[in-house]
Amino acid sequence: MSTTSNPAPLLRKTALNATHRALRAKMVDFGGWDMPVEYSGLIAEHLAVRTSVGLFDVSHMGDIQLRGPGSLAAVQHLCMNDASMLAVGQAQYSAMLTPGGTFVDDVVMHKLSDNDYLIVINAGTREKDVAWVRKQIGSMPSIHIGDYSDYYTQLAIQGPKAEATLAKLTDTDLSAIKNYWFTWGKVCGLYNVMIARTGYTGEDGFEIYVPSDEPTSSRVWGEILNAGAEFGILPCGLGARNTLRLESAMALYGHEISDTINVFEAGLGRYAKLDKGTDFVGRAALAAIQAAGGPQRKLVGLEMIERGIGRDVYPVCTLAGQRIGQITSGSPAPFLRKNIALAYVPVQYAALDEVVAVEIRGQLVKAKVVATPFYKRAKKST
């Protein structure tokens, strides 16, 4: 272990940094942010979200607001999904693409009103995304672009008991908010808090956006933990956040999606509306890929069938040991109790039940291609 005195690079902190440290969270540098990776234990936190409720500080994510009469046109040009389909109070998964049809970032697009859109972006790509947005649509008419990333403390309350927990803190009828819709309401005594039925865990849940001053943020955090105490709520870190989204086969920028991976390779073509009637950055490249017969490699789900854990960047090989691809995200799955991974392989190896090998520290360990998502929550009967 090195003992040279290099000062640690200054990490960014959310308003809840002291709160996490007071809870004795293990902290980690995540994309330049000092964030909690786990509190009581990754597996316990993961299981709390799957069976009851967990609370995440995701304030490191960014928020770009587009306002003005030209904002729909700007959003339609900037992002691949069709924002004209959105009603006020509705959100959609989308992405900003490079002209080559690869990813600048994936986003959640929220229609706040006809002239008002909120784009939630990844933490590690905040500055890059804001610069990209200004470059792509900055000269379009009748819009104002605002970076509100530091304005909000964003909290995710996720799990089957998330609604019951949050319901104790608001008069808003949460049962009326459908999946991927949002509203505003009074939460923990704060007016006009955005309450969105969104998340990154594969469970039901909400994300709320409160002012980012430390006293408000820590008060709301504490009230949510109190409200969820009867359900066994746990504060959850980035470790569980990763295993939860992996079980649900949700993409992570820098892993399943990046500026060298196109939309069809990533299996996200259903969110790219080439026929929405307006051009968008990357549209022509996607059309060309389709015309050429589609992608040459695909993102598949893998389940280890021999003893071993396939992890990020481990090579994927034929059974004979020829390297054909790479794992983008791989880990034990705490709820499924299997070792799972997402990986890019050439299309001829992408069929379900295809058996491949993962190279784990020099050994070939067998895995098979399985359907994704690996985990899907039971549908509520409405």
Partner 1 sequence: MAYPAAYRYTKEHEWISVEGAVGTVGITDYAQSSLGDIVFVDLPKVGDRLEAGKIFGSVESVKAVSDLFSPVSGTVTAINQELKNAPEWINADANTTWMLKLDLANPTELDALLSAPQYEAFIAEETEH
- Which parts of this chain interact with partner 1 (CB under 8 A)? 1, 26, 37-38, 41-43, 239, 243, 308-309, 311, 331-332, 334, 361
Residue 277 half-sphere exposure toward CB, CA atoms < 13 A: 6
Report the C-alpha gap between 24 and 298 in whole angstroms.
41
CA distance 309 to 370: 16
Our CB check for partner 1 shows the closer of 2 and 192 to be 2
Residue closer to partner 1, measured from CB, 64 or 360: 360
**CB closer to partner 1 out of 81 and 326:** 326
Comparing CB distances to partner 1, the nearer of 311 and 377 is: 311
Residue nearer to partner 1 on the CB measure, 24 or 178: 24
Task: State in angstroms the smallest separation of the CB of 3 from partner 1.
Answer: 8
Residue 67 corresponds to which tokens in the numbers above?
Answer: 């306002």
Shortest spacing between CB 238 and partner 1, in angstroms: 10
Q: What are phi and psi of 84, to 5 degrees?
A: -70, -15
Residue with tokens 């704060």: 190
Q: What angle do CA 188, 62, 264 make, to 5 degrees?
A: 125
Among residues 245 and 297, whose Cβ is nearest to partner 1?
245
Paired tokens of 9 = 């690079």
CB of 44 to partner 1, least distance (A): 8
Smallest distance, Å, CB 339 to partner 1?
Answer: 8
Which residues, in sequence order, are bridge partners of residue 356? 367
Cis status of the peptide bond prior to 373, with omega within 30 of 0: yes
Q: How far is the CB of 26 from partner 1 (least distance, A)?
A: 8
321 φ/ψ sector (left φ>0, alpha ψ -120 to 50, else beta):
left
Q: Could you give the CA distance from residue 235 to residue 217 in angstroms, rounded to a whole number?
A: 14
Angle of the 126-137 helix axis to the 71-78 helix axis, nearest 10 = 120
State in angstroms the smallest separation of the CB of 37 from partner 1: 7
